[in-house]
Amino acid sequence: MKSFLRRRWRVTTIYAAAAVVAGGVAAVVLPPGGGIHPLAAAVPDVPSVPQLAEPGTQSAVIGSSVAENGQVCQSGAQWLRLRVTELSLRGNDSVTFTGSKSGSYTLTAQNWPGKAFHTRAFEGDCVRVQPNLADSGSKYTVDSYQYGTQSLAAATATVAAVGDVCGSSCNQTAPLVKNMAPQALVLAGDNAYDSGSSSDYSNKYNPQYGQFKSITYPTPGNHEYNTSGASGYFDYFGARAGERGKGYYSFDVGDWHFVALNSNITRDASSAQVTWLKNDLAANTKPCTAAYWHHPRFSRGDHGDNTSVTPFWNALYAAKADLIIAGHDHNYQRFAPSRPDGTRDDTNGVRELLIGTGGRGFYDYNLDSDAVQEAGNANTFGVGKLTLTATGYRADFVPVSGRTYTDTTSGNCKKASSTPAFTVGASPSSVAVPVSTSKTVTVDVGASGGFTGSVALSVSGLPSGVSGSFSPSSVSAPGSSTLTLTASASASGSATATITGTSGGVSKTASLSVTVGSTPTGFSDDFESDRGWVVNASGTDNATTGRWERGDPEETREADGSVKQLGTTTSGTNCLVTGRLAGASDGANDVDGGLTSMTSPQISVPSGGKLTFSYTFAHGDNSSTEDFLRVHVLDGTTRTKVFEKLGTSGVKVAGAWQTATVDLAQFAGRNVKLVVEAADAGTGSLWESAVDDVRVTG
- In order of 143, 490, 495, the CA distances from 512 in angstroms are 48, 21, 8
Which CATH homologous superfamily contains domain 157-389?
A: Metallo-dependent phosphatases (3.60.21.10)
Confidence band, pLDDT 50/70/90 cuts, at residue 148: very high
Interval 71-93: pLDDT, tens: 888 989 999 999 999 899 988 88
State yes or no: pLDDT of 538 exceeds 60: yes
Round to whole Å and give the CA distance between 248 and 265.
10
Segments in 445-581 forming alpha helices (H): none
What pLDDT is recorded for position 448? 58
8 Å CB contact between 370 and 298: yes
Give the range among 292-306, 410-424, 473-487, 602-616 with minimum mean pLDDT: 410-424
pLDDT attached to residue 4? 34
Position 180 pLDDT exceeds 70: yes
- Topology annotation, domain 421-517: Immunoglobulin-like (2.60.40)
The partner residues of 130 in beta bridges, in order of sequence, read 96
Q: Are 695 and 523 in contact (CB under 8 A)?
A: yes
Cα–Cα distances in angstroms (integers) from residue 489 to residues 455, 486, 519, in the given order: 32, 10, 11
Mean pLDDT of the chain: 87
Whole-Å CA distances, 224 to 174, 189, 193, 264, 524: 20, 8, 8, 9, 30
Would you call 665 helix, strand, or coil by DSSP?
helix
How many residues appear in the chain?
Answer: 698
Closest of 547, 452, 458 to residue 92, by C-alpha: 452
Phi first, then psi, for residue 213 (nearest 5°) are: -55, -35
Q: Contact 556/568 with Cβ under 8 angstroms?
A: no
Choice between 24 and 343, residue whose per-residue pLDDT is larger: 343
Q: What is the mean pLDDT of the segment spanning 126-138?
A: 86
pLDDT tens digits for range 590-628: 999 999 999 998 888 988 899 999 999 999 999 999 999
| Residue 321 in this model has a pLDDT that exceeds 50 | yes
| Comparison of pLDDT for 365 and 29, the residue scoring more | 365
What are the pLDDT digits (tens) for 663-685?
Answer: 999 998 888 999 999 999 878 89
Angle at 169 between CA 167 and CA 174, to 5 degrees: 100
- CA atoms of 32 and 22, how far apart (whole Å): 29
Q: Convert the pLDDT of each residue in 559-573 to its tens digit.
A: 888 899 999 999 888
Lowest mean per-residue pLDDT among 169-173, 482-486, 580-584: 580-584
The model's confidence at residue 45, banded by pLDDT at 50, 70 and 90, is: low
- Architecture in CATH of 523-697: Sandwich (2.60)
Note the pLDDT of residue 136: 86
pLDDT at 69: 46
Q: Is the pLDDT of residue 274 over 90?
A: yes
What per-residue confidence (pLDDT) applies to 589?
A: 86
Given a cut of 80, whether residue 29 has pLDDT beyond it is: no
The structure's pTM equals 0.59
Instruction: Output 292 or 139, whichever has higher pLDDT.
Output: 292
Please tell me the predicted confidence (pLDDT) of residue 449: 55
- pLDDT of 50 reads 96
pLDDT for position 624: 92
Which residues, in sequence order, are bridge partners of residue 435? Answer: none
pLDDT of residue 132: 82
Q: How confident is the model at residue 290 (pLDDT cuts 50, 70, 90)?
A: very high
Q: What is the pLDDT of residue 608?
A: 86
Query: How remote is the C-alpha of 244 from its chain's centroid?
Result: 17
Instruction: Name the band, by pLDDT with cuts 50, 70 and 90, for residue 63.
Output: low
Q: How far is CA 133 from CA 30, 107, 117, 476, in A?
A: 11, 12, 20, 20
- Residue 435: the pLDDT is 80
**CA 200, chain centre distance (Å):** 26
**Whether residue 67 has pLDDT greater than 50:** no
Give residue limits of the domains in the chain. Answer: 51-154, 157-389, 421-517, 523-697
* Lowest-pLDDT choice from 156-160, 163-167, 336-340, 417-421: 417-421
Cα distance between residue 2 and residue 68, in whole Å:
6
Q: List, in sequence order, the alpha helices (H) in 359-421.
A: none
CA distance 598 to 594: 14
Q: Which CATH architecture has domain 51-154?
A: Sandwich (2.60)
The reply to whether domains 157-389 and 421-517 share a CATH topology is no
Average of per-residue pLDDT across 142-148: 93
CA distance 531 to 543: 23
Phi-psi label, residue 269: left if phi above 0, alpha if psi -120 to 50, beta otherwise: alpha
Burial tier of 368 (Cβ tally within 10 Å: 0-12, 13-18, 19+): exposed
pLDDT at position 585 is 75
Q: Which pLDDT belongs to residue 675?
A: 97
Q: What number of other Cβ atoms are within 10 A of residue 657's Cβ?
A: 15
d(CA 181, CA 176): 9
Distance from the Cα of residue 180 to its chain's centroid: 26
Find the mean pLDDT for residues 129-133: 84
Q: CA 389, CA 241: separation in Å to the nearest integer?
A: 25
